[in-house]
Amino acid sequence: MKIGLVILLFLFFIGCSQIDSYNKTSENHSEYMIKSDPNEQFEYYNRGLIKYFSGDIIGSRKDYDKTIQLDPEFKYAYDNRGISKGDLGDFEGAVEDFDKAIELDPKFIYAYSNRGFTKTKLGDLEGAIADYDKAIKLNPKFKLAYFNRGNAKYFSDDYKGAINDYSKVINIDPKSQVAYNNRGLAKWELGEYKSSIEDYNKAIRLDPKYKLSYNNRGFTKAQLKDYKGAINDYNKTIELDPDFVLAYSNRGMAKLKLQDYNGAMEDYNKVIESDPDYEVAYYRRGLVKTKLRDYHGALEDYNKVIKLDPNFKQAYYNRGIIKTKLGDFDGALEDFGKTIKLDPNDKDAKEMHKKFQLTVSEK
């Protein structure tokens, strides 16, 4: 995925009872039932649900532990405990629970879908797609599985396959703004920028407060060199979410293209204030400072980029250029050499290295 764009991931599908309906038992009632009969596994299960939806993930997992202790064949408890484990970052443990749920019921579509999502988090995209395939085979109208399979295909660089899956979601649910957003992303990857914008337009019509699509549409407009239009979209994103750091970064780049260097500087300062370890912001601010002929400031920013990411090739090259302007030809030669080491095919770096090799040798 290209920097500047945002893809939306759906999380898990949580089963709310042994018959897929949410038992609205109050937590107080659950506490009473557990105290009066500690073998009431459904009460632990229901309390686990209540805790999960209240944000007490650790508490929900403990209640599912108790449920499983009381009823080792309760598939929904394994499935939901897997979800809680996933939320707590225990993805391997989550997969084990989904495995058990599927062992108990080989046609348990939600467990396949949830396991697929977890495998995506673990980087096992092939395994994730296989799980979504199984869920879809069991229920050809299971839109969440199509959506998440589309995401897995997207991350596998199968953009056409992702588009097909997002389109399937839209066929099932024409009001799914998230499917339009992600389909727009996949089209962007294929260079279908105008069609991508059409999808973002649709997502925004469905939800005028959908900040991700404003940001992504702005990024696509910038790709088409419509920088003013891009800035308008980033402005809207920031209006909807003043803490959306990526929108400031993207807007800064659009302002840089329009030679609004002071405006770009303000945006990158905001990004760095919010995320001091975001190397791209330092790199771009270095570009702005170079345009403003603040070479010492640019040098500091490129130094920071390289400290955060020692393999950021272009930062070495740009720092080399800055050093030539400051008369540090030895340092420039070293930076151009580092650029070539990272990318032996970089013609610009080779040319500059050759030029300043002669300059240094003539000193």
What confidence tens digit (pLDDT) does each residue in 182-234 have?
A: 999 999 999 999 999 999 999 999 999 999 999 999 999 999 999 999 999 99
Q: Hey, what are 91's tokens?
A: 């993805």
- Read off the pLDDT of residues 236-247 as tens digits, 9 standing for 90 and up: 999 999 999 999
So what's the pLDDT on residue 40? 78
Check: CB of residue 215 under 8 Å from CB of residue 244.
yes
**pLDDT over 70, % of the chain:** 88
- Under DSSP, is residue 22 helix (H, G, I), strand (E, B) or coil? coil
| Type of residue at 188 | W
Q: For residue 216, how many C-alpha atoms fall within 13 Å in the half-sphere facing its CB? A: 33
Is pLDDT above 70 for 266?
A: yes
Q: Hey, what are 102's tokens?
A: 């599927």
Q: For residue 293, give Cα distances in angstroms to 286, 305, 310.
A: 10, 19, 25
3: number of Cβ within 10 Å: 10
CA–CA separation, 307 and 298 (whole Å):
14
Q: How confident is the model at residue 2 (pLDDT cuts 50, 70, 90)?
A: low
Which CATH number is 1-156's, of 1.25.40.10, 1.10.8.50, 3.40.605.10, 3.40.50.300? 1.25.40.10
Q: Hey, what are 8's tokens?
A: 């939306």
So what's the pLDDT on residue 357? 84
CA–CA separation, 287 and 293 (whole Å):
10
Of 17-26, 225-234, 311-320, least confident by mean pLDDT is 17-26
If one compares 42 and 158, the residue with the highest pLDDT of the two is 158
| Type of residue at 297 | G
Of 30-39, 134-143, 249-258, least confident by mean pLDDT is 30-39
So what's the pLDDT on residue 183? 98
Q: Hey, what are 352's tokens?
A: 């500059």
So what's the pLDDT on residue 356? 87
CB < 8 Å & 24+ apart, contacts of 95-99: 95/119, 95/122
Q: For residue 195, give Cα distances in angstroms to 113, 127, 201, 229.
A: 29, 31, 10, 16
Is pLDDT above 90 for 11?
A: no
Predicted model pTM? 0.85
So what's the pLDDT on residue 41? 84
On average, the pLDDT of the chain sits at 91
If one compares 168 and 31, the residue with the highest pLDDT of the two is 168
Domain borders along the chain are 1-156
So what's the pLDDT on residue 6? 57
